[in-house]
Structure 1
Amino acid sequence: MFHNKKRGHAEDLASPSKKLRSRVENLYLSGRLTGQDAAELQMDASDCGMSGFKRRSVGTEGCKLNRNAARDMLRRCLRKSQWPEIYEAEIRVWDEKLNVTKYAKVAFMLPHEILNSLFKKNPKFNFEDLTAAAESARQHCRDVTEGYGQTMIPMALWCDGTPYSWDRTSSLEVTMMSLPGLGPPNSTWRFPVTALPKNCIAKGETFEDIWEIAGRAKVAGHTIPHRCVLAEVRADWKCLSEVFGLPNWKSTSGICARCSATPESFRDFSSEAAWRRERYDHDAFAQRQLADGKKLSGIFSCPHFVTTCFKIDWLHVMDLGCSQDALGNIFWHILPQLGPNQSAQVAAMHLAMKQYYRENTVQDTIDKLTVTMIRKKANATPKLNARAAETRALIPFALQLAEKYLSGGSKFDKTVLRTMQHLAHAYDCLSRENWNAEVLRVECFKFLKRYCSLEDASQDENAWRMKPKFHMMAEIALELDNPSCNWCYRDEEAGGTMARIAYAKGGNVTPWAVSSRLLRKFCAEFPVPVLV
């Protein structure tokens, strides 16, 4: 979606003046030019006799532009936008200077209006085809449709933080929406609802106000061609806990919103495990929350929204969690066989890794491997420090390494090999062509049981340690969804684009300034898509 500028390539325009204007606007919207620099370039073009550019006022030659140059430039970029007007609302935010919660104006794009613009732009597109959606989203829509008598379209929300300052010290909390039913190439589209600097978030207040605002229907009185239902909320475990109030990995009363698993009981992955018998539906979870003195998130006020609409993300649970733990432990276990000292061992492993990359034309590669990337400290649990895509790409390599060095070893070595085989088989069935829910369930639980046995048998008390996130892997295995249908890779990519758009080389860093700049620049850079 976001790699190419949707305003069009300047080379495709016939007029030289239009080409130049398009280039200047794209440079401004991408953050490579300030508003004043872009305005100066356009007025210089006008001075050269090119048509279609803003003229310099008489008597202002050599004078500095006014401070509203960026605002005026953005307005010119928005002249032909078909997106809805920005919605303004006051919500509770955190004032870092005064250390108090206060009300401040924030910009929104209401989901109802986004959908209305999308439907109007694509009147002949079949939005009711849900083939590309996850099974749980399709089932949720079928259940709601029975009550309304009208076909429902699933909608999804994603919420997470992303660095957006030049030195990556400031984080932006982004809320975006998407339509899970859209198949390729339309499935990459994400639409921002709002965004705020992380230091402006008041815990337990800001996001509650956001959910209340996002549910407003500003197009009331107008007919929307289709009806949607919020079927998915995607986020990492930390966000689900802090923003939506779901249990976290430290909750003594239960670490999961779907079962009775606790920090002590989650390690039992047998079919007779207590948490597999004691499952929570939406009402049971709500009762437990209230019994623990916790408030229910305002997101539950959305019609037909239930706890199963919160999706457990494979990217954060596996590619940035369990798989990195497994790879770190396997690499650490094999290292002593690769050389006389750790430096030589790591160098030999990286050499084998690079050979694997070349033979399999892997794109997401680790350019440098160090001991601390496998195990940070001697008393720490081994865990590979890599990006999510790099981790996924190393699963087959780790299996090859285990087959080469562990197949003829001890009983412990063979258990490590079989553990890696189960993990690799689980990854193999993630594609739509190879998807098999039963295979994923069986392989995941075999992996978890063997990993548990490795923790018990390991002589290193810090190795092969079971963490609560492994329970989330078990919950993914129990679902009917293909994890690739609702993982957050596309959302994270879109979040990075939002960070680029929100970045400014100057100006205020207030809730209104950041949120309005992001939404307006998004509307200017990306027109309402024509779905194919």
Structure 2
Amino acid sequence: MFHNKQRGKPGAIASPSKRLRNRVHNLFLSSSLSAIEAAGLETDAAECGLTGFKKAPEKSSKNASRDMLRRCLKKSQWPPIYTAEIRIWDEKHEITRYADVAFMLPHEVLYVLFQKNPGYPFTDLACCAQSVQNHCLETSRKLGVHVIPFSLWTDATPFNWDRSTSLEVILMSLPQLPAPHHTWRFPVTGLPKNNISKGESFEDIWDLMAWSSQQLLLGIMPRQRHDGQPFKEPWRNKHAGRTIAHRCILAELRADWKCLAEVFGLPHWGAKTGICMRCSACLSTYKDCSENAPWMLERYGHWDFLLRQKNEARLISSIFRNPFFTTTCFKMDWLHVMDLGCAQDCIGNLYWHVLPKLGNNQKVQVAQLYLQMKKFYKDNGIQDCIGKLTLGMIKKPDKKKPKMNLRAAETRAMIPFAWRIADEKLDRDDVFESAIRWAIKYLVECYDCLSALKWEPSYFRKCCFAFLRQYSSLEAMAEEGKWVMKPKFHMLAEIALAGDKPSDNWVYRDEEAGGTMARVAHAKGGPVNQWSIATRVLNKFSAEFSVPHFD
């Protein structure tokens, strides 16, 4: 679900009846079985005389989901759900109003995690991105106490059968955890997108996260709620005032560019006054990737950016109320920038240029390209293969600009084949085709740098900027609408300048966990609102997973 460790393996539990019960509960918690079906299986098992099963009451269908979830939650080690009022959008009355939303707060999750793992070296930051290590070391120096990082990820993912409604997901993780524990993701909350009040719902959430982060930095469990009211839950009253084993700060926030702009008020790709929070790049200057580019010479620090936001009367997000959180804590992810962005643009333009060399008409050309692709995949043992190739996957009929329409994993798998095609089909004596060939070569080198064995920050930066300059030159040489250098290419420049290894903060595991969270949120019946969705996801996580014990 939120970790790649499977639950209920045959050899993990000695008792066959317990294994069966775990499997039934797991199917219910993953939304593979409805509560009524799961309760029916338990009743059948009880009537067969198996221990550990109870016969469900005859009139239990009305609250079957609630009753089944309560049984699954009996031995949960996680804190109870935290309820907070935030502003949400009421679709029925078309107004913004306050409503209760369920949360798992970072300071409570980490409190129980540290209690379960008292001897684990959470202070070892070797697995963190270099910028996160530097940020924590600088904060520790200022405070005179050792602090460790935690990170958040947020994005929207479809969660109903026709993909017409999205779930806004927030997940927490610890970037310092090594393999295999680095795959753990802890849900904070999940809200239907149609219940999000623009500029209000998320601001209330970040206020709550800031309060939770303050408790983590103080290192003490709070004695009252974020709104000053006393706790109602026995668990929170019992643990109030106790010490949190490690001081923590929010040192990393991962999201795609669309989310950064819409949720946090950061500049977006069409902003006329500037498209970047870290420099002065704008729509007229971002394509210049030389060492003397205006945006390379005019860089923004944290306070410079906030001043610009204030002067332009733009949102200054509540996320900045988290202690020691700065603009450097926002991480631009490789998946959206390259796998679903620049690389797809580059490969799409390459194929569009090469197609006329492969046959007399486009149908034959695409078929020939796909045959060569399948052979290459088979010869090289590539697993993330595409099942088909159509002209619309290279350039959509209603678009002028070619761009491959692939999943991220399919794009990564296609990079070596793109180089094979470029090397074989392009004329090295032709100036334009030679330029294309070099662009593909630099793209391949950018991806090669991601390997742990080949990682070297200065060489990675060199490869990225070589690719960007080559692509910029191609746009100047190409016909209109081809080899267009979009604003997203500037994000690649910022990734290169940051000096972090992309694998230290990329979002592949976050996306997977977010998709699982969306599947769990989908209900076969009952109300669908901000309270029911969030409580369903958090309770199912708490029921399925124990607090992990790290070896």
Name the CA distance, whole Å, in 1 between partners of 2:174 and 2:68.
32
Deviation at 1:2, TM superposition (A): 4.3
Deviation at 1:497, TM superposition (A): 1.3
Deviation at 1:499, TM superposition (A): 1.1
Name the CA distance, whole Å, in 2 between partners of 1:149 and 1:8.
45
Equivalent residues in 2 for 1:190-269, closer than 5 Å: 190-217=185-212, 219-220=221-222, 221-269=241-289
> TM-score scaled by structure 2?
0.93
Structure 1 residue matching 2:264: 3-state secondary structure: coil
Give the residue type in structure 2 aligned to 1:451.
Answer: Y
Equivalent residues in 2 for 1:12-27, closer than 5 Å: 12-27=12-27
Give the residue type in structure 2 aligned to 1:448.
Answer: L
Q: Residue 332 of structure 1 corresponds to which residue in structure 2?
A: 352
What's the CA shift string for 1:340-361, capped at 9, x where partnerless? 1111111111111111111221
Contact 1:6–1:526 (CA under 8 A) maintained in structure 2: no
Give the residue type in structure 1 aligned to 2:211.
Answer: R
Which of 460, 469, 475 is the matching residue for 2:488? 469
What's the CA shift string for 1:396-437, capped at 9, x where partnerless? 111111011114341100010011111111110112211011
Deviation at 1:446, TM superposition (A): 1.3
Q: Residue 518 of structure 1 corresponds to which residue in structure 2?
A: 537
Name the CA distance, whole Å, in 2 between partners of 1:267 and 1:407.
26
Which of 327, 340, 344 is the matching residue for 2:364? 344
Deviation at 1:3, TM superposition (A): 6.7
Deviation at 1:18, TM superposition (A): 1.7
Contact 1:11–1:19 (CA under 8 A) maintained in structure 2: no
Deviates more, 1:23-32 or 1:505-514: 23-32
Identity of aligned residues (%): 56
Give the residue type in structure 2 aligned to 1:184.
Answer: A
Name the CA distance, whole Å, in 2 between partners of 1:183 and 1:388.
24
Deviation at 1:20, TM superposition (A): 2.3
Name the CA distance, whole Å, in 1 between partners of 2:463 and 2:383.
27
Deviates more, 1:375-384 or 1:79-88: 375-384
Deviates more, 1:135-144 or 1:25-34: 25-34
Q: Residue 70 of structure 1 corresponds to which residue in structure 2?
A: 65
Structure 2 residue matching 1:80: 3-state secondary structure: coil
Give the residue type in structure 2 aligned to 1:419.
Answer: A
Which of 446, 457, 472 is the matching residue for 1:437? 457
> TM-score scaled by structure 1?
0.96
Deviation at 1:21, TM superposition (A): 1.4
Aligned residues: CA RMSD: 1.5
Contact 2:2–2:185 (CA under 8 A) maintained in structure 1: no
Name the CA distance, whole Å, in 1 between partners of 2:448 and 2:14.
49
Name the CA distance, whole Å, in 2 between partners of 1:408 and 1:160.
43
Could you tell me which runs of 5 or more consecutive residues in structure 1 were left unpaired when the two chains were aligned: none
Equivalent residues in 2 for 1:31-70, closer than 5 Å: 31-57=31-57, 60=58, 64-70=59-65
Structure 2 residue matching 1:293: 3-state secondary structure: coil
Q: Residue 506 of structure 1 corresponds to which residue in structure 2?
A: 525
Deviation at 1:188, TM superposition (A): 0.7
Structure 2 residue matching 1:519: 3-state secondary structure: helix
Equivalent residues in 2 for 1:123-522, closer than 5 Å: 123-217=118-212, 219-220=221-222, 221-377=241-397, 380-458=400-478, 460-522=479-541
Deviation at 1:503, TM superposition (A): 1.6
Give the residue type in structure 2 aligned to 1:323.
Answer: A
Deviation at 1:504, TM superposition (A): 1.5
Name the CA distance, whole Å, in 2 between partners of 1:151 and 1:352.
56
Give the residue type in structure 1 aligned to 2:248.
Answer: C
Structure 2 residue matching 1:93: 3-state secondary structure: strand
Structure 2 residue matching 1:216: 3-state secondary structure: helix
Deviation at 1:9, TM superposition (A): 2.2
Contact 1:111–1:215 (CA under 8 A) maintained in structure 2: no
Structure 2 residue matching 1:497: 3-state secondary structure: helix
Give the residue type in structure 2 aligned to 1:338.
Answer: L
Deviation at 1:461, TM superposition (A): 0.6
Q: Residue 231 of structure 2 corresponds to which residue in structure 1?
A: none
Deviation at 1:505, TM superposition (A): 0.8
Contact 1:241–1:247 (CA under 8 A) maintained in structure 2: yes
Name the CA distance, whole Å, in 2 between partners of 1:394 and 1:379.
22
Deviates more, 1:42-51 or 1:425-434: 42-51
What's the CA shift string for 1:27-82, capped at 9, x where partnerless? 1112121112211221222223222222344xx4xxx5241111111111111111
Give the residue type in structure 1 aligned to 2:510.
Answer: D
Deviates more, 1:448-457 or 1:411-420: 448-457
Name the CA distance, whole Å, in 1 between partners of 2:315 and 2:329.
18
Contact 1:314–1:487 (CA under 8 A) maintained in structure 2: yes
Give the residue type in structure 2 aligned to 1:77.
Answer: C
Deviation at 1:6, TM superposition (A): 4.3
Deviation at 1:14, TM superposition (A): 3.0
What's the CA shift string for 1:193-223, capped at 9, x where partnerless? 0000111111100011111122334822110
Deviates more, 1:370-379 or 1:196-205: 370-379
Matched, 1:115 2:110: yes
Matched, 1:80 2:64: no
Q: Cα–Cα, structure 1 residues 56 and 403, in superposed 2: closer, same or farther, change >3 Å? A: closer
Name the CA distance, whole Å, in 2 between partners of 1:381 and 1:409.
26
Deviation at 1:124, TM superposition (A): 1.2
Give the residue type in structure 2 aligned to 1:418.
Answer: W
Contact 2:42–2:56 (CA under 8 A) maintained in structure 1: no
Name the CA distance, whole Å, in 1 between partners of 2:429 and 2:8.
59
